Amino acid sequence: MAQGSQLYHGHIQLADTDRQRYETLTFSTPQHPSEKPERLVLRLLAYALLYEPGLEFRKGGVSQGDAPDLSIRDDDNHILHWIDLGTPALDRLRKAARHTPKVSVVTHDGLLARWKRQHGNQLPDFQGNILCLDEALVITFSRSLPRRFDWQATISGGILYLDSAEASLSSPLNQSP
């Protein structure tokens, strides 16, 4: 854990009726001093939304620039699913798509609007999926995230329902191929 990082301990009760996945996710992850709370919450939500056995946060936190934010690897340490957050560079995504069977980006509508402007008012063209959440949900949960948290995440009909002791909100899960 990097100097000055804060460690967050989470429990997420996941009920994903769209993918028929019901899990109790328990994990710890550091927040690097340079990582904004909004990005940390986006990272935690990506973990829940794209959860599959073997999903891991990037080792070394945000300071490991070449690695994906989250990934699933095979037994030989080859990346099977590359997951980035926010507004990653197009070159990075294209490179990931050339070497990885599955690439996903998890962002929110405020970041997505900026990303589109950077790419001529279109989504960047890469071989992967973009999953977009409501900015209000991400911001609300980033303002009230305790170091130890318990969330209930239900995904049904393409909508995320997220509940904690501090807030209860929902967001459509807008996907772009």
- Given pLDDT bands bounded at 50, 70 and 90, which one contains residue 56? very high
The span from the CA of 150 to the CA of 155, in Å, is: 16
- Across 127-149, average pLDDT: 94
Compute the mean pLDDT over every residue in the chain, rounded to the nearest whole number: 91
Would you identify the CATH topology of the domain 6-176?
Restriction endonuclease-like alpha-beta roll fold (3.10.640)
Which residues, in sequence order, are CB contacts of 7 under 8 Å at separation 6+?
1, 28, 29, 30, 31, 147
- Across 12-28, average pLDDT: 96
What tokens does 138 get?
């991400």
40-71 exposure pattern, b = at least 16 Cβ within 10 A, e = fewer: bbbbbbbbbbbbeeebebbeebbeeeebbbbb
131, 105 in Cβ contact below 8 A? yes
List pLDDT tens digits, range 77-108.
999 999 999 999 888 888 898 899 999 999 99
- Across 54-64, average pLDDT: 77
- Give residue 138's pLDDT: 97
Q: Any idea which of 59-68, 120-129, 148-157 has the lowest mean pLDDT?
A: 59-68
Percent of all residues in the chain with a pLDDT value above 90, rounded to a whole number: 71
pLDDT of residue 125 exceeding 80: no
Q: What is the pTM of this model?
A: 0.92
The residue that leads in pLDDT, 22 or 116, is: 22
pLDDT of residue 40 exceeding 90: yes
Domain coordinates in residue numbering, the chain: 6-176
User: DSSP for 132-164?
Assistant: EE-HHHHHHHHHT--SEEEEEEEEETTEEEEE-
